[in-house]
Amino acid sequence: MSDTTISGAPALTDEAARLDAADELRAKRDAFALDDAVYLDGNSLGALPRGVPARLADVITREWGSLRIRSWEESGWWTAPERIGDRVGHLVGAAPGQVVVGDSTSVNVFKAVVGAVRIAQARGAHRDQILVDEATFPTDGYIAESAARMTGCTLRPVAAADVPTAVGPRTAVALVNHADYRTGRLHDLPGTTAAVHAAGALVVWDLCHSAGALPVGLDAHGVDLAVGCTYKYLNGGPGSPAYLYVAHEHQPRFDSPLPGWNSHADPFGMEPAYAPADGAVRGRVGTPDILSMLALEAALEVWDDVAIEAVRAKSLALTDFFLRCVGTYVPAGRVASITPVEHERRGSQVALRCADAGAVMAELVRRGVVGDFRNPDVLRFGFTPLYTGFADVERAARVLAEVLADGPADGRAGEPSESGVAG
């Protein structure tokens, strides 16, 4: 597939080679298990960091198999949620002591939203509304609805961009995605946070599609609470534990709806009465899932010498270059980007609206370019700067053009495939 007659390809191929040669993150690719495919689905499941298999083998065989219960103390299992939380925190601009890892994103959304409502209501004013990003990945909306029902609030879906104007004296909390999972649009975290605060409410940010791809600056922007997963740009593995950020200033009033024994001030005292621990530990619930958690810890080692600003710069360069390659290779009108052009409104993915998107993505995967498909008509390509190169980007755009050229005529535009994730 390297020789092609697509117009413009030689020039862009040369440019990709120059960009790769100048890429200061290029060597990081060797830290991941990759093959000949162009993997542009790291925004769904990050690739395997090469250090993980040996670390997990040691955790299983020695720490569990040989030390057994002694490992809760001797191997640092018990404190893993806050220790790894600090590592994640570093990547999203949180000083130590504010992040714990554990549970799923959904469960952490529940803790964060209920906890935020309780803090807002304890301030005295009558606040009984929860604003939620109306285009959110669905689980946040489902869980926010449950949180609203269980705290006597009502849920009001609004566009993320409209939160600053929708927030008001009745608002307890706004739950907003930093980057939209479908369009890749990056929302204004500093401005939205400031607007929510000006109205006396709290904001919970969902960082699933931004953490590890760009600077978040939780502390710098005064974010109240945040959640996120670790299996996308943080490469923690399938279903690796999520995290919860509770800013220092809110920790003394954070009142978790899931006060499990791991969040007790004296967990081994086995006291019948609950007394919450101080600090981020208050966000823990039950016994931490050690195998998945220590796989995540090993995966995070690839970040040791990486600046998130360099990641962001490369991410924007990759998505810029992809849009240029698509614009050059793909016949006009065949796809339309729904990802914002402006850098400050773009995350680390490009979403292209395309007729027959499901069938097109299946063929792309067959030809070694792995993205994913989102109902009803979106081709989604995620760019992980730690392991995606410019030649990958050029190849992805070129294969997309080939698939579209080879495929059925686009007479079926407006009748997209509904065949689901499998394609």
Q: Which stretch binds a second copy (CB under 8 A): 49-57, 120-128, 339-347, 349-357?
A: 49-57
Of residues 80-109, which lie at the interface with a second copy (CB under 8 A)?
A: 103-107
Burial 32-64 (b: 16+ CB within 10 A, else e): bebeeebbbbbbbbbbbbebbeebbeebeeebb
- Alpha-carbon span 423 to 419, nearest angstrom: 6
- Find the binder of a second copy among 212, 228, 288, 385 (CB under 8 A): 288
Closest CA to 111 of 164, 173, 168, 158: 173
- Binding to a second copy in span 17-36, by CB under 8 A: 33, 35
Q: Is 233 annotated as a binding residue?
A: no
The contact pattern for a second copy, residues 109-128, with x = CB under 8 A and - = no contact, is -x------------------
- List own/partner pairs for 415-421 with CB under 8 A and 24 or more apart: 415/355, 416/354, 416/355, 416/356, 416/357, 416/358, 416/376, 416/377, 417/356, 417/357, 417/358, 417/359, 418/358, 418/375, 418/376, 419/358, 419/359, 419/362, 420/358, 420/373, 420/375, 421/372, 421/373
User: Of 27 and 270, which has the nearer Cβ to a second copy?
Assistant: 270
Distance CA 197, CA 194 (A): 5
292 carries a ligand binding annotation: no
Q: Which listed residue (16, 77, 116, 117) binds a second copy by CB under 8 A?
A: 77
| Positions marked catalytic | 137, 206, 231-232, 380
Judged by CB under 8 A, the residue of 129, 251, 292, 337 near a second copy is 292
Residue 281, interface with a second copy (CB under 8 A)?
A: no
Chain residues 185-224 in contact with a second copy, contact rule CB under 8 A: none
| Segment interacting with a second copy (CB under 8 A) among 57-65, 160-168, 342-350, 407-415 | 57-65
Instruction: Give residue 265's identity as a one-letter amino acid code.
Output: A
Q: Single out the segment in contact with a second copy by CB under 8 A; choices: 53-61, 184-192, 194-202, 334-342.
A: 53-61
234 binds a second copy (CB under 8 A): no
Q: Does 13 bind a second copy (CB under 8 A)?
A: no
Binding status of residue 238 toward a second copy by CB under 8 A: yes
Question: Minimal CA–CA distance to 257: which of 116, 142, 159, 387?
Answer: 116
When binding is defined by CB under 8 A, the residue of 310, 375, 391, 413 that contacts a second copy is: 375
Range 330-359, binding a second copy (CB under 8 A): none
Q: Is the peptide bond before 376 cis (omega within 30 degrees of 0)?
A: yes
DSSP secondary structure string for all residues of 249-289: GGGGG---S---GGGBSSGGG--SS--BPSGGGGG--SS--
* Token pair of 74 as six digits: 């001797």
Question: Does the annotation list 388 as a binding residue?
Answer: no
Q: How far is the CB of 274 from a second copy (least distance, A)?
A: 4
Q: Which two tokens stand for residue 33?
A: 């298990």
Question: Which residue number, 147 or 401, has a Cβ lying nearer to a second copy?
Answer: 147
Residues annotated in a binding site: 105-106, 137-140, 206, 209, 231, 261, 287
Residues annotated in a binding site for pyridoxal 5'-phosphate: 105-106, 137-140, 206, 209, 231, 261, 287
